[in-house]
Structure 1
Amino acid sequence: MIAVPPALLPELADGLWHLFAVFLRVSAMVSLLPAFGERSIPTRVKLGIAAAFTLIVTPAVPAPDLGQGLLPLVRMIGTETLVGLAMGIGLRLFVLALQTAGSIAAQSTSLSQILGGAAVDPVPAMGYLLTLAGLTLAVLLGLHIRVAQFLIHSYTLFPMGVVPLAPDLSQWGVKHIARSFGLAFSLAMPFVIASLIYNLALGVINRAMPQLMVAFVGAPAITFAGLFLLFAGTPLILSVWSDALFAFIVNPLEATR
């Protein structure tokens, strides 16, 4: 058994507290992180990912200045967990934007029931395909590197142990949620326009030829149009989404402007 010199015990304790303080924020964010924090990933793997990010981020973050007593410790735990969850929710909203865009597109093109139960969440097939493709693209573009930079930069925006102001945090959250739904509707706009044109054309044909069963004629057309738009528009959709995701990682406070 290796004996630790008594003079090194205070430094060892400070180093462990430093790791623990960083781990609180990192683990809270990793639990909601796109690709790495999905519900299909085992908890042990998430714990390993959080530990890896902690080892990467800790050398770039100043050590916390903890006071004496239990209250400063509880305050630090609550603050770091809150900040980590807020940042994780901000990133998770981009996944929600893809799922919402897929749901809007599927409902617009009558493809909402195809492969609807393939994902963990009950989303239509388009939402599942867009989400899976978006997460894969984000990882290929270096999401793990951007997340490490994001975590290091977060200590400049939210210093360790400093509680974010409730009005600022709530305003940031509301505006970012609104921005997320705006992004989702923008991504699904081609499908909404195609659905509008389809329904207008169907109404005109029905008025001109009431005896014709326009639903049987139009159903294959809207299905083909939806699949074609999904095939042709997915690269552009994912490009716009990934640009928005990485823009948020670079400047997470942009949503409040």
Structure 2
Amino acid sequence: MIADLIPLLPFSQNALWGFFLVFLRIGSMVSFLPAFGEQTVPVRVRLGITLAFCLIIFPAVSDRTTAAPDTLMSGLAIGGPEIATGLFFGLLLRFFVIALQTAGAIAAQSTSLSQIFGGTAGADPQPAIGHVLVVAGLALAAMMGLHVQFAAYMIQSYNLVPLGAVVESETVSALGVAAVSRTFALGFTLAAPFVLASLIYNVTLGVINKAMPQLMVSFVGAPAITAGGLFLLLITAPFILSIWVDTFMAFVMNPSGGF
């Protein structure tokens, strides 16, 4: 019986090598994934998530894997680019979380709430508004089948960068520059109501101070802008999260963006 199984040994080696290559890319990508790759998620849980995604992705890309290498250097030459590719495509998704954090920071600064820190999904503290937006955005995205979209995104990454290939400079420049510009544009767009409210508040405060110099407008205006900011967050949060989720899901479904 053992003699009959010996001819299957090369096939099993190639399958394990192909699964390992998929694990390298997917594991690197999961470390940056929104919701699944947060630093508050235990390492063992992230490892389990990585293996689960690998079991889903490997059958779809198994025909693109290469045979097991004969030397260590040839294995590193194939595995190294896979790690870099996974980090790159994971970072493209992480930019959307940064956009929410940027929007929260702008909104908090505009409404004098930047010194109020809340919990955080990451390692660094952030303003309470940013924490609310990030947690709510990730929860909403997860409720809309985020894991299914991520699996499709991972498979599409093999269409943009074949297995074992190095990410081309054209791909990095096109997708990277677009991701950075979209991050700041989206962050400012989401925080636009708070910036507009802050502008109206400061203009009004300046007019009142000009008309009544003896009035301590800062003591009157500070509670007003704080209460107004919280009320504005209550009203605009559903629209902010809706715009963010639509933009996020559109990118996950089509990461190339016409590239």
Tell me, yes or no, whether TM beats 0.5: yes
Whether the 8 Å CA contact 2:112–2:225 is kept in 1: the answer is yes
Are positions 1:97 and 2:87 aligned together?
no
Aligned positions, number: 254
Are positions 1:65 and 2:66 aligned together?
yes
Tell me what 2:80 maps to: 78
Separation (CA, whole Å) in 1 of partners of 2:58 and 2:81: 17
Are positions 1:87 and 2:112 aligned together?
no
Whether the 8 Å CA contact 2:14–2:66 is kept in 1: the answer is no
Separation (CA, whole Å) in 2 of partners of 1:24 and 1:126: 35
Separation (CA, whole Å) in 2 of partners of 1:241 and 1:118: 21
3-state SS of 1:241 partner: helix
Instruction: Quote the sequence identity (%).
Output: 54
Root-mean-square deviation (CA, aligned residues, Å) is: 1.6
1:111-147 superposed Cα distances (whole Å, 9 cap, x missing partner): 1122x15223221000000000001001001110000
3-state SS of 1:33 partner: coil
3-state SS of 2:256 partner: helix
What letter matches 1:8 in structure 2?
A: L
TM-score by length of 2: 0.93
Separation (CA, whole Å) in 1 of partners of 2:245 and 2:91: 17
User: What's the offset of the Cα at 1:171?
Assistant: 4.0
Which stretches of structure 1, 4 residues or more, deviate above 6 A after TM superposition? none
What letter matches 2:54 in structure 1?
A: T
Tell me what 1:5 maps to: 5
Matching residue within 192, 195, 198 for 1:192 = 195
Gaps of 5+ in 2: none
Separation (CA, whole Å) in 1 of partners of 2:154 and 2:209: 58
User: What's the offset of the Cα at 1:35?
Assistant: 0.3
Separation (CA, whole Å) in 2 of partners of 1:57 and 1:212: 66
Gaps of 5+ in 1: none
Tell me what 1:112 maps to: 114
1:219-250 superposed Cα distances (whole Å, 9 cap, x missing partner): 12111110111101011000110111111111
User: What's the offset of the Cα at 1:167?
Assistant: 4.2
3-state SS of 1:231 partner: helix
* 1:1-40 equivalence runs, <5 A: 5-40=5-40
TM-score by length of 1: 0.94
Matching residue within 241, 245, 249 for 1:246 = 249
User: What's the offset of the Cα at 1:188?
Assistant: 0.2
Are positions 1:52 and 2:85 aligned together?
no
Separation (CA, whole Å) in 2 of partners of 1:127 and 1:204: 31
User: What's the offset of the Cα at 1:175?
Assistant: 2.5
